[in-house]
Structure 1
Amino acid sequence: MEHTPEFDVTAEAPDSPVHTIGTDHMTVMGGDSAGTIAFYRDLLGMPLVLEQPNLDQPELTHLFFDTGDGRILTFFTKEGQRTRPQRGPGNVHHLAFSIAPEEFDDTKQALQAAGYGFNEFDRGAFHSLYTQDPGGLIVELVVEKYDIPDDRRGEVLALAHEKRVEAGAGFVDDEHMQEALDELGLDPEPQFAGDAPTGAGV
């Protein structure tokens, strides 16, 4: 599978009139409140830090969860509401959250015990489990394969992309990540190794 980039890929900040400095929160249309809380708080361990009416639509409840690093995920919920997200432009395809490498196997067991199926894939730059929340939204649980400082992730991915293009490869894989990390003076040894297909073309 070969892919020629169509756009300029770089970790350098663009010459734009506005520059964001991080993610504050993301808001998703959820299903019912109880199911949302049972999945995100009781299964995935995200503290429910705020609950109030949706200020624009008071008939909806606004739930705020701390995803683990102080960044907030919120849902607009309504009792008895069932949703299955659409996949058109502007809609959420999936949410991805980080999990610790040492908790990967326990996470799979917890999903199974709670009745949630999942798929496991090695995505080259990271390793992932995919499941669905009670409203049908795809949730990806990501294990970072390499120990990369948060403030250098973009730099590493951009250089790994460059290595991928030079190699004529279809997607970033371990060799491109390791070359990029080594060139940037970071540890190229993986901290996690899983055995799973890439899922390419699935």
Structure 2
Amino acid sequence: MQRIQVQGVHHITLVGSTRQSAIDFWQGVLGMPFLFEQPNLGLESENHLYFDPGDGRLLTVFTNDAHPDAGRAAPREVGCVEHIAFNVSRASFQQAPARLEQRGISFTQRDRGFMDSIYLRDPNGLKVELACYKFETPSGFRDADVLMAAYRLRIARGDHHIDASHVADAIEQLIATRDRLE
């Protein structure tokens, strides 16, 4: 049986609360330009807001001004979304804690070995991650190429998780394969 081959994320749609709450968070806090809105064609009582998360794709939010912000953490159960991660530059990542503190938004910062993460919640409790790789992907390769090579090195070495040494060695290996092809 043949599979359907996907080619990337087209868009993500969230169930939000009010129009203004969505604009204040996604555009005001995270800097995603608000592109346009239209009715939710599947549910007439809702509006459908469209934002640009920075890569030319879309993040959309269903809103209904009769629904207040949830004011609680989104459920973390089987079948639920745990979090959505957005790429940020190293410079933006370094400025994020102060900017979130200025807005009174609580967050958690984590070192993930091959990347750094800041976690916060939208007004309806959805966990949002600001993620920044600790490496620069070499020309001609994808981030996934570096991570797969680093993973193979981690497994071969019996290490607990990917760290900077795995990433550095993976990049060196990838560049060597590219140089042999040229």
Structures share fold, TM-score greater than 0.5: yes
Runs of 4+ off more than 3 Å:
81-84
Residues of 1 paired with 2:175 and 2:126: CA distance?
A: 38
2:125 alignment partner, SS class: coil
Pairs aligned (count): 172
Q: 1:107-151: per-residue Cα shift (whole Å, max 9, x none)?
A: 211111111011111111211111111111111101121112695
Query: Which protein, 1 or 2, shows the higher relative CO under an 8 Å CA cutoff with sep ≥ 6?
Result: 1
Residues of 2 paired with 1:16 and 1:130: CA distance?
A: 38
1:120 alignment partner, SS class: strand
The match for 1:191 is none
Q: CA RMSD in A?
A: 1.9
1:180 pairs with 2:167: no
Displacement of 1:168: 1.5
Q: Which moved more, 1:65-74 or 1:101-110?
A: 101-110
1:34 alignment partner, SS class: helix
Residues of 2 paired with 1:129 and 1:65: CA distance?
A: 21
Residues of 1 paired with 2:43 and 2:161: CA distance?
A: 42
> What does 1:46-195 correspond to in 2, within 5 Å?
46-79=32-65, 80-83=67-70, 84-148=73-137, 152-185=142-175
2:142 alignment partner, SS class: helix
2:162 alignment partner, SS class: coil
Q: 1:44-81: per-residue Cα shift (whole Å, max 9, x none)?
A: 11011121111111111111110011111111122233
Residues of 2 paired with 1:119 and 1:72: CA distance?
A: 26
Q: Which structure 1 segments of 5+ residues have no match?
A: 1-14, 187-202
CA contact (8 A) 2:21 2:69 kept: no
Residues of 1 paired with 2:107 and 2:141: CA distance?
A: 30
1:185 alignment partner, SS class: helix
Instruction: Specify the code of the residue in structure 2 equivalent to 1:104.
Output: F
The match for 1:28 is 14
The match for 1:189 is none
1:19 pairs with 2:15: no
% of aligned pairs identical?
Answer: 35
CA contact (8 A) 2:37 2:47 kept: yes
Instruction: Specify the code of the residue in structure 1 equivalent to 2:69.
Output: R
Residues of 2 paired with 1:170 and 1:64: CA distance?
A: 40
With structure 1 as the length reference, what TM-score do the two structures score? 0.78
Displacement of 1:162: 0.8
Displacement of 1:103: 2.1
Displacement of 1:163: 1.0
Residues of 2 paired with 1:47 and 1:119: CA distance?
A: 25
